[in-house]
A = this chain, B = another copy of it.
Amino acid sequence: MRITALAGGVGGARFLRGLIGHIGTRDDDAAQATITVIGNTADDITLFGLRVCPDLDTLMYTLGGGIHEEQGWGRADETFTVGDELRAYDVPPDWFTLGDRDFATHIVRTQLLRTGWPLSDITAALCERWQPGVHLLPMSDDPIETHVVIDDADGRRAVHFQEWWVRLHAEPEAKEFVFLGAAESTPAPGVLAAIESADLVLLPPSNPVVSIGAILSVPGVAAALQATSAPVVGVSPIVGGAAVRGMADACLRAVDVDTSAAAVAAHYGARRTGGLIDGWLVAEGDADLPAPAGVVQRARPLLMSDVESTRRLAGAALDLALELRAWTAATTA
């Protein structure tokens, strides 16, 4: 059984760790599932001349056992000597913290990029160390960067997503998100095939705009999600009108979507009517929210507060996808 997931950073990584853990407890076909993860690379940024891929690294470190658990990103047991030295040299920016262990990843990646390796091959090489238990693919080998149009005291201008998110704490209203480079990009090798040939497709509770939305901005990805015979099941990143993590509300406002599980489901839309999802998991308190016609909605505990609850959530998403798949098989038989 082939499971394919689209994922951003922290939320996606924790969900996927839960999925791997859950699969290990099953005794049906799903126990043997292979998982392909299509990671968002539009958060990527070049800092100090080094290419940093926050979401790919969060996925790799989380699934490979190197993550800083409390923080959700970056390495455990991290030190900050290189960054302190860069500050002593007065090298900007001073608002993005990279640890020493993390620096090594960016040094290796940049060295290989400079010698012509595509990001997908580099990611595979890095994963030889981390053994994340999934096949991790960047959404594209082409550089794509999310920039945010803001209008603050410095005037109307576009800043890199990381500057808006990390330095400006998503406080200046985002007028628009632009996925620079996306229109001319192509999906990384294996991305479209992973969607088209999947038995199940999952959308973890990642940011619908700057994570899942960025992946969908790569030409061909949305069409592949439309075309695949696999059911597509999403998990709401919104619980009771608030983002489970991060500042998704500030992103949703920019695309005129309310901060509610129902509004995000409507934003994704039902596959049957040209949208992206067949199934949708919402929190138990959101059970009465309307789902788009053609989307099967189920209410389950969505918090990923510990290993067990995260496994149960992933199991619920998997169960819904398996049910939808069985129904489709019965319908077309």
Contacts and interface: CB of A to CB of B under 8 A. Distances in A.
Contacts of A101: 81-82, 85
Contact of A81 (B79, B86, B115): B79
Contact of A105 (B50, B85, B107): B85
A129 interface: yes
Interface stretch (A87-95, A164-172, A287-295, A313-321): A87-95
A49 interface: yes
Interface in A97-112: 100-101, 103-105, 107-108, 110-111
A48 B79 contact: no
Contacts of A156: none
A103 B82 contact: yes
Contacts of A91: 108, 111
Contacts of A110: 49
Contacts of A82: 82, 100-101, 103-104, 107
Contact of A107 (B49, B114, B115, B126): B49
A100 B79 contact: yes
B89 A104 contact: yes
Contact of A108 (B86, B105, B126): B86
Contacts of A128: 90
A81 B100 CA distance: 6
Given A79-B79, A79-B81, A81-B81, A86 B100 contact: no
Contacts of A79: 79, 81, 100
A111 B103 CA distance: 14
A114 B81 contact: no
Copy number in this complex?
Answer: 2
Interface range on chain A (Cβ under 8 Å from partner): 20 to 34
A114 B110 CA distance: 12
B81 A108 contact: no
A88 B90 CA distance: 30
Contact of A86 (B85, B88, B104): B104
Contacts of A90: 128-129
- Most chain B CB within a 10 A radius of its CB, from A89, A91, A114: A89
Contacts of A126: 89
Interface in A41-62: 48-50
Nearest to A111: B49
Contacts of A83: 104
A10 to B, nearest CB: 21
Interface string A16-36: 000000000000000000000
Contacts of A50: 107, 111
A128 B90 CA distance: 10
Interface of A: 48-50, 79, 81-83, 85-86, 88-91, 100-101, 103-105, 107-108, 110-111, 114-115, 126, 128-129
22 contacts: A48-B108, A48-B111, A49-B107, A49-B111, A49-B114, A49-B115, A50-B107, A50-B111, A79-B79, A81-B104, A82-B103, A82-B104, A83-B104, A85-B104, A86-B104, A86-B107, A88-B104, A89-B104, A89-B108, A90-B129, A91-B108, A91-B111
